[in-house]
Amino acid sequence: MPLKLIPPSPKRRTPNYSVRGTHLGCYIDRSLGTSEKNLAKKLLRELEKDIERGAVTGKGAVGFASAANAYMKAGGENKYLSPLIAHFKHTPLIDIEQTAIDNAAAEIYPNASPATLNRQVYTPISAVLKRAGIERKIKRPIGWRGNRMTHWLTAEQAFSIFDAVAKIKATERTKLYFRALLILYCYTGMRLSDALGMKAGNVDLEAKTALLYTTKNGKPRLVYLPDVVVDALRTLPMGEPDSRVFPFHKSSRLYTWLKLTCESAGVVLPPRVSFHVFCHTWATWMRQHGGLDTYDLIKTDRWADAESANRYSHVVVNDIAKRAELLPVGPKKKDNAA
């Protein structure tokens, strides 16, 4: 039987097209990893060409599209896989090595930053390979970690910014919400998108918590709200449970208000540093005043790994460094009597 396209079916419990049959003596029975018919037809033609040129042989040659589909079925993140599936199609996993991955990154995202390439190409490919049982060391693009800025505010600077909101040119309602937003951001470590998307029904001021269903890490996070945040939120009129707490959207106007507020407070932020300075401030204060170490920060669910949380290790002097007090010093000289 020649290769045949099999549409999605509730009985098969999959939303994707599959291909089954034999071409030039090579039997194929695999998912195409897509629910789009036109793309599935294109992948089928590419599969036939791969068989004809000898790139796919026998039953054991697992292609990228099939492996990616298996990865997604197992609960893997599918956000960046579509362009990769379209690029690699049925390329056998054994052929997806460093050069092939580098070329894919350059072709799919020619103008992307190293950090973006790592997030949208190198990391998902590595995940698919590992799920398929292929452990391969993949070199990330130079500069993929980006410029990890950790500028934070002193307590005096933060307090000055909160007070300076009252001086910016905006309606009283806007200033009320904007001040509460900055306080929330500074004392919870939320990202700006988390704070702006927070729903009224997910905020419990009595329990002092806010539930964020969708975060950058892809996991829900129950955020603790200190008294200073609860007091600020109590000044806001809460709408229906499904309505957002803050009436703002991420826009240039929001950044202009922050710029004007900082200018009024006499606080100068480094270039390219804006709202995220409050998140860094929260993490820094949690280390300096809350006594948290790197792994304590991870337990707050704000960061997924030690590498990300460890950027704040330099803001406190650890006990090991304090052992410098044990180093030998010369005898103290007595002051000469006058």
Lowest-confidence region among 176-180, 217-221, 236-240: 217-221
Can you give the pLDDT at residue 317?
41
User: Do the Cβ atoms of 68 and 81 come closer than 8 Å?
Assistant: yes
Q: What angle do CA 204, 205, 207 make, to 5 degrees?
A: 70
Characterize 261-278 residue by residue with b for buried, 16 or more Cβ atoms within 10 angstroms of its Cβ, and e for exposed.
Answer: bbebbebebeeeeebebb
Mind listing the pLDDT tens digit for each residue in 132-157?
777 788 999 887 765 555 688 899 99
How many C-beta atoms surround the C-beta of residue 337 within 10 A? 4
Can you give the pLDDT at residue 309?
41
Pick the CATH number of 155-315 from 3.90.550.10, 3.40.50.720, 3.10.110.10, 1.10.443.10: 1.10.443.10
Where in the chain are the domains?
Answer: 4-131, 155-315
What is the value of pTM for the model shown?
0.53
Mean pLDDT of the chain: 80
Mind listing the pLDDT tens digit for each residue in 103-143?
999 999 998 888 889 889 999 999 998 887 777 889 998 87
CA–CA separation, 316 and 117 (whole Å): 33
Can you give the pLDDT at residue 263?
95
Can you give the pLDDT at residue 314?
45
pLDDT band at 161 (very low <50, low <70, confident <90, very high): very high
